[in-house]
Every structure is written in structure tokens, then in C-alpha cells.
Structure 1
């Protein structure tokens, strides 16, 4: 089940909200746990046992680490056992086929790799349980002795499928006590509807253009169509993922939780370093706190800092998927981050903002080719077309048609990827009393009606980060 579906919007969510709010406060974590398990089992009834096992596994590991806290050898052994277990489950389902295929390629073997579907959200909830165990082991958070509360944290359906990755420390207090007012619920509903509109009205529609370009044989692509297609994907993945995250954060507020902001207008960035401070913030925060800093961060000299960055970006790519495309994509961005740290950031700071902005967008757009294509070979071929290699025409009739029918929509999307729409809504609420009371709520009603109409009439409703 995904948030942008009619069954979630008009069946699951209303029933869940009703049950949650008629329940006594002390039972609400249990309600949240129960509905989260139903939400997950709706599409993957078998793989729910993996999530339950991970929850039980690290609940007891946390208790044991706390019990043997002053017997360092035992506590360390339990900690290592927990890390191996969590990474082992993630590795088996997500990376075993990739490892076997590469062994076959290197050694000319024919080992049969198990064709296992990837359990939805496994990368997210595995990272959450791991961060909990690390923080308990380091004494940063008290162990959670209430299994229902811990289970609600791990399985919480608003952020289960696609994040943001919520560290236990961030919501430990909210699991015990949280307050929901009508205004807070309304803020959550507004955030959810904005996310729904971004996902359904913007991402889905511009995604049709990318789907058309991607399905075109490489020899038939023109230079302009390649650029038009990858720009469409650049916008699609932002509105798709950030829209889904907004829905998650909105749902969190509706149930009394504050989840961290995961996107902060990344396409207005003036460096690759800044882009990654604005894109998938919770993932970057996780790797910084649990990989980069433990490796030494920037405290051990320049060479080790660059090594640590290389490790982080390799893992960032690998986290996204079991493919060399993702690994190269991660290292590609790591290269630019390291070059900026060594030299380029000083130059970018002296350049006009427009130049540094164009540079950043160019790097990011090319990166999305590596991310989205099925193989490295297809990515290189597509990039070659973008830059005129291979004798491709600059444009043809189909390209001009695609451009003319999408140019206005692309401009709208570009504006919506900036803080401008949010500032307009905030200004209307603050300065125009009638707008704050009538116009703005009507805008959200229109968003909801249009999104619903789209979902009723269209079958194209992918979620790109569902595969991670």
C-alpha cells in the first residue's frame, strides 16, 4: 500500500485516525503498532515476518546490552552480534544476487542466485534499528523496555516505506508523551495534501515524458530529447520522493510526531556539497553520525578525511541498490564533494551565483543518468547522446512536439522546486485575513480534489524510492 492510493486515502487512513483518537492515550502506541503491521502486510504478508523478527531481535539485543553495560566484553559481543544480524538480513535480501553475479563474472562460474523480491522499506527500518542499538551501546539513549513502544518506533507506517530515517533519540520522548491539537493536526493535513499534490499532480505527470524518452531506442534519440527526458526525470524524482516524504511528515504530525525535514529545496543549491545538505537529509545525517564521525571524520588529517568521505559515498551508492550503477553514482558525487572541499568551493564562492548554480545542476542531472539507467553501458550511451557523440540529430519533429507540449509545465515545476510557492502561501496567510481563512484552505481542497480525480482516472502512479 502506498499513500498515493485511493484505498489508503479513503479507507485505511480515515479508519486509522478514528481508532487512534477514540483510543486512550496509553493504548495509542499499541494502535499505531497494529495498524502499521496491517499497512505493511497489505502488500507483503510474507515479508512482515522479517520486519517483526528485526524488531524482536534488536529489542532483546538492546535489553542485553543494557544489562551487561558494565561488562564491556559481553556488551561488545552483543553489539557486534546485533550489527551482523541486521546487516546480514539486509545483505541477504538486497545484495546476495549482486554478489553472486559478480563472483560468477570474475571466476567464470555459474552459481545460481536466488531471485528474491526486495522487502519494501527494509533499508529504512534496518537503519533505524541499527541506530537504536548503536546509541544504546554508546549510552546516548536509555534502553526501551516497553516492547509496544519500540515496535511502534520501528514499524511506524508514516515513515516505514520511504523515510525519513528516524533516529530513536529524535522521537524517544514522543513515544512516551505527545500532544496533538486541532491546529497541529491541521498543519499535518496541509503538509500531507501538499505532498500528495507534488507526488500525483507533478511527479506522475512529468514522469510520463521521461518514460517516453527512456523507452525510445538509443539510436533514435536526439540531443534535445535526451536533455528534455533527463530534466523531466530530475524533476520527477524530486517531487516523487519529497512529496512522499511530505506526506510522511504530515501523517506524523497528525499522530503527534515530529519527523525531521528530509528535503530543503535541493535544486537551488550552488554547490554539490550544498545539494547533499538539502537532499535526503536524514540519510546524510545517518551516515555522518554512524559512519563518517566514527571513522574519524575530519579530525585525523586531510588524507583520512578524504578516505572517510570515500567510504561514506561508496556506502551511499550501495544503500540505494545492488548495482554498479548506484555505486558509481555514489562515488561520482563523492568525487565532486572531495574536489569542492579541496579547492572548488573557494572558486564557487567567488563566481556569480548563476554560474555556480548551473554547475551544480549540470553535475546533478548527469548523476541522475547513472542513477536511473539499468546498466552502466546504457548510462554512458545516454550521456554520449546528451553531449552530441554518435552522430545524433539535435532535434526532430517528435522532440519539438514534446518540448512545445511540456515547456509551460516544466516552468511550473521549476518554480515549485523553489521556496516561492511556500512563501506566497505564507504571505497570504499572514497579510490577507480572508486568504488565511478562506482562500488557502480552498487551495488545499482543490489540491485534494484534483489529486483524487487523477488517481481515479489514471493508472500511472509509480513511487521511485519504493525499490530501496
Structure 2
């Protein structure tokens, strides 16, 4: 079910009304109803995939409880050992006193690790099978062909379950945090299953941590006007980003990338720039809508984007782009590898691993791995000279300095070049696109700029993004609430007038 569809326009008010007016007095019934609504929302694409998310939830719920049991046993047996080995007493078997502690701790540690291994194996196994099985088969076949053999390897006709990369990482973070002792496992299956399947952010994030979202299912929720109002603002602005910016950019971008061999240099430059705006408008638009819808039901989700195209270097860009994913890899991959608290060589290795894995997370194609590798290559020089944490705030000035403007343009240019690999069908197409950008005539005999309304919308979009870069929504800069209603009307009117309604426009990140 798409956020920008008629079905969701009907679904949301019904769920909202029942949630607040029928189930409000009973927290468990509220959670159970949210779980049912989330499964309906997810099953709208293909009900058969409900089995996967239910299985993933069940395995991690069970693993969390089992790890808690191991902790309890360890605590109890450690207490018993303290009694046996207490000062001035020796009431137990001497051999037990000498050998029991090490074997006991070793066994319990192995037991706890076992359940984490089950969680990781099951979830990553599902992800690998549905998302990467054909990729590995095709890559193996290509490698064998390079050796001079003709392999006869068959692939499977697999359908990628929508949102599997997102809910897999979300539920894995729960298992890992329980294993590390950072989080106590929940004994409420309804709350946990709802946490995994929470429909506003189920399909394309933000990838929530259990420590932030799960406790909210145990607190009594009362409807708050301000929270609902903030949610509606985010939904409205998210729809503008998606339907006016992203979808109109797509109408220009798709033909250019599909026919880049015949496009002029200027058209290729324009295609790369507009794709940068397309993917940002599409993905951040989804995140805004997701956060806004969650607010309507009394939940607070993490911010996923903070005006990343105003970044002054690549390091700042990654602190502002897809924050829920970048922080996930930081906490569960980069830091466990040693982070930056190791030798420079190992730190560079860790950075490459994180960026390459991040690229591979996006899809089963070498283009995504190349995209991650490019960002690693751009990030490492900044890291080596110790400048990766220079730009930690947006600054207080209303207009950027000339130096900052150059830094922003340079960073955006580098990011846009990397986006070409992200968007292209193959490495060869990406390289061909970039080569033709600088080898083709810059201006063709006849050139049609993209639509006037899109140019106007992009300028307005950039100005408003800059003005509201320190706020959750730029509308907050309007001091009096009554002055905001004409603005709401203008944004809604622009969506109706400039939005793309003539064809179905899926969110880009649904494929991940």
C-alpha cells in the first residue's frame, strides 16, 4: 500500500478512528489492533510475504527470551558459587570449587551466543536468499566464464519481499542489544511483533532501534493535538517532496538514463543532478510521511534526513543522509570492528567494510557496491587528515559564506557523480554515462529544458529546505498559527496541480 495512493487515503482515517475512539482505553487492544492494521498494510502487496515477517518476529522474540534465561541461570549459579566459595567456608566439593566456575561461565556464554547466532543466521539467511541468491549465482557464472568454461547454472524466479532489508535490520538490532545486555527482552509478544511490523515505517524506514520504539508500546497513549498537528505537517511536506519533486524529476531522469548513448553532455549532467533530487525527494519524503503518520498514533520516530545536500563534505553528508542506516552500521559493524580506535590501516579497512556493506545492503548489483566504494574513497582522505568531524552543526548565519557555498556545491557534485552508479543498470552503463558526459557535445542542435513548473518547484524547495534546516519542518518559521493555513493550502494546491497522478510512482527504496 503506497502512501500516495487512494487505498492508503481510505486506510489511514479508518485505522486512526478505530485506534483512538474504539481501542483507546485498553493499551493491549490498541497494540493488537495496530499489529492487525500493520499486517493488512504489508499484506496489501502480497499476503504470502506475511509469513516471513511473522517468522522473523517469532524467532527474535524467542531468542531474546532464551538469552534472558541464560542470564538468569548465570546470575543464579554465580550466586551459588559465591556461597560455596565464601570466606571461611568450604561447604561444597573441592573439585567443584576449582573447576565449576570456568566451565559454567564458558557454557553459559556459548549458550547465549548460540541464540544470537540463530537470530543472525535466520534473518540474514532470509535476506541473502530472497535478495542475493541470484546475484551470487550470476556472479559465479560470470567468473567461471572468465576462466574459459561455459557454466549451466540456473537462477530462481524470486520476488523480493517489500521492506525485508528494513525490518530485518530493525529486529536484528533487538537481538544484538539483548545479547550485549543493553536491553531487557520483552515478554509481551503483541508489543514485540507490532514493533517489528509497525506500518508507518515498516517498508522503507526509518530503521528504528528497539530501545527507542519498543518502550513506546508499553506507555499509555493519549491523543495530543500538537503532536497530531506536527504529524500532518510532515505528511503534507513529505507528499510534496514525493509527488512534486521526486516524481516530476523521474519523468525527466528515466528517459535520459535509458537513452544515455544518444544524449548530449548537458542532458547527462541534468539527468545526474535531477536524479540526486529525485532520490532525496522520494526517500526523505517517505521518511517524513512515516514519521508524521507515527505521530498521529502517538509515536515518535527518529529523524532520518537533515538537509544532506547542504553538507560541506562527505563526512557531514553521511551524518545527514539516511541517518537510521548509517548509525546502524556505525553501532553494529564499525564500532565492533574497532572503529577508529585502532591503527590507521585497520581504521581504513573498517571504513571500507562499512561503506561496501552499506552499498550491498541497497541491492544485489555491483553498481551499489561501486557506489559504496566511491563514498569510502571520498571519506578516507578526510578521515586521514582528521577533518571528518569538522562540520557538526549547520551554523547560525542565514546566508552561507562563499567558502561554504563552494564546499556545498563540490560535495553535491561528488555525491551526484556517485548517484550515477546507484541509478545505472550496470557498471558499464555508469562508466559509459560519465564518459559520454564529457565526450559528447555539451549542447545539442535542439535541447528542451525540463518543465518550467519543476524548475520553479526545485527553487522553492531548496529555499524552504535551507530556511528550515534547523527545524523538523520549515512551516515552524511562520510565527502565528493562523498565518500558516494559507501556506498549507498552497502546498496542498501545488501537490494537486504539479503532482504526478497520470502513472503509478513507487517509492525508490521499496526495492531495497
The answer to whether the Cα contact below 8 Å between 1:271 and 1:348 also exists between their aligned partners in 2 is no
The answer to whether the Cα contact below 8 Å between 1:267 and 1:275 also exists between their aligned partners in 2 is yes
Distance in structure 2 (CA, Å) of the matches to 1:401 and 1:315:
37
Superposed displacement of residue 25, structure 1:
3.5
The answer to whether the Cα contact below 8 Å between 2:245 and 2:278 also exists between their aligned partners in 1 is yes
Please list, as runs of the form range in 1=range in 2, the aligned pairs for 1:53-202 lying within 5 A after superposition.
53-69=55-71, 70=74, 71-108=108-145, 109-177=151-219, 178-202=221-245
SS in structure 2 at match of 1:462 = coil
Q: Please point out which of 426, 429, 432 is paired with 1:375.
A: 426
Q: 1:244 to 1:397 in 2, by over 3 A?
A: farther
**How much is the aligned-residue C-alpha RMSD, in angstroms?**
2.2
Superposed displacement of residue 441, structure 1:
2.6
Distance in structure 2 (CA, Å) of the matches to 1:174 and 1:275:
30
| Structure-1 residue corresponding to 2:287 | 245
Superposed displacement of residue 340, structure 1:
1.1
Q: Please point out which of 209, 227, 242 is paired with 2:252.
A: 209
Please list, as runs of the form range in 1=range in 2, the aligned pairs for 1:58-457 lying within 5 A after superposition.
58-69=60-71, 70=74, 71-108=108-145, 109-177=151-219, 178-216=221-259, 218-343=260-385, 345=387, 352-386=403-437, 388-389=438-439, 392-402=440-450, 407-420=455-468, 425-428=475-478, 430=479, 433=480, 436-437=481-482, 439-451=483-495, 457=501
Distance in structure 2 (CA, Å) of the matches to 1:451 and 1:161:
23
Q: 1:189 to 1:286 in 2, by over 3 A?
A: same
| Structure-2 residue corresponding to 1:459 | 503
Q: Please point out which of 30, 33, 40 is paired with 2:32.
A: 30
- How many residues are aligned here? 457
Distance in structure 2 (CA, Å) of the matches to 1:340 and 1:457:
43
Distance in structure 2 (CA, Å) of the matches to 1:272 and 1:224:
25
Superposed displacement of residue 371, structure 1:
0.2
Superposed displacement of residue 457, structure 1:
4.2
SS in structure 2 at match of 1:159 = coil
SS in structure 2 at match of 1:7 = helix
Distance in structure 2 (CA, Å) of the matches to 1:418 and 1:95:
39
Q: 1:167 to 1:401 in 2, by over 3 A?
A: closer
SS in structure 1 at match of 2:305 = coil
SS in structure 2 at match of 1:399 = coil
Superposed displacement of residue 282, structure 1:
0.4
The answer to whether the Cα contact below 8 Å between 2:191 and 2:214 also exists between their aligned partners in 1 is no
TM-score (norm 2): 0.85
Distance in structure 1 (CA, Å) of the matches to 2:117 and 2:277:
41
Q: 1:285 to 1:234 in 2, by over 3 A?
A: same
Q: 1:347 to 1:330 in 2, by over 3 A?
A: closer
SS in structure 2 at match of 1:132 = helix
Superposed displacement of residue 417, structure 1:
4.2
Q: 1:186 to 1:401 in 2, by over 3 A?
A: closer
TM-score (norm 1): 0.92
Distance in structure 2 (CA, Å) of the matches to 1:253 and 1:308:
36
SS in structure 2 at match of 1:172 = helix
SS in structure 2 at match of 1:256 = coil
Superposed displacement of residue 460, structure 1:
4.3
Superposed displacement of residue 331, structure 1:
1.0
The answer to whether the Cα contact below 8 Å between 1:136 and 1:142 also exists between their aligned partners in 2 is yes
Distance in structure 2 (CA, Å) of the matches to 1:76 and 1:399:
62
SS in structure 2 at match of 1:441 = helix
Matched, 1:3 2:3: yes
Superposed displacement of residue 413, structure 1:
3.8
Q: 1:28 to 1:7 in 2, by over 3 A?
A: same
Distance in structure 2 (CA, Å) of the matches to 1:374 and 1:416:
33
SS in structure 2 at match of 1:91 = helix
**Residues 228-260 of structure 1 deviation map (CA, whole Å, 9 limit, x = unaligned):** 111111111111100110000001111111111
The answer to whether the Cα contact below 8 Å between 2:248 and 2:499 also exists between their aligned partners in 1 is no
The answer to whether the Cα contact below 8 Å between 2:207 and 2:325 also exists between their aligned partners in 1 is yes
Distance in structure 1 (CA, Å) of the matches to 2:192 and 2:235:
25
The answer to whether the Cα contact below 8 Å between 2:359 and 2:369 also exists between their aligned partners in 1 is yes
The answer to whether the Cα contact below 8 Å between 1:267 and 1:417 also exists between their aligned partners in 2 is no
Superposed displacement of residue 183, structure 1:
1.5
Q: 1:347 to 1:91 in 2, by over 3 A?
A: closer
Q: 1:245 to 1:222 in 2, by over 3 A?
A: same
The answer to whether the Cα contact below 8 Å between 2:34 and 2:194 also exists between their aligned partners in 1 is yes
Greater mean alpha carbon deviation, residues 20-29 or residues 372-381: 20-29
Superposed displacement of residue 112, structure 1:
0.5
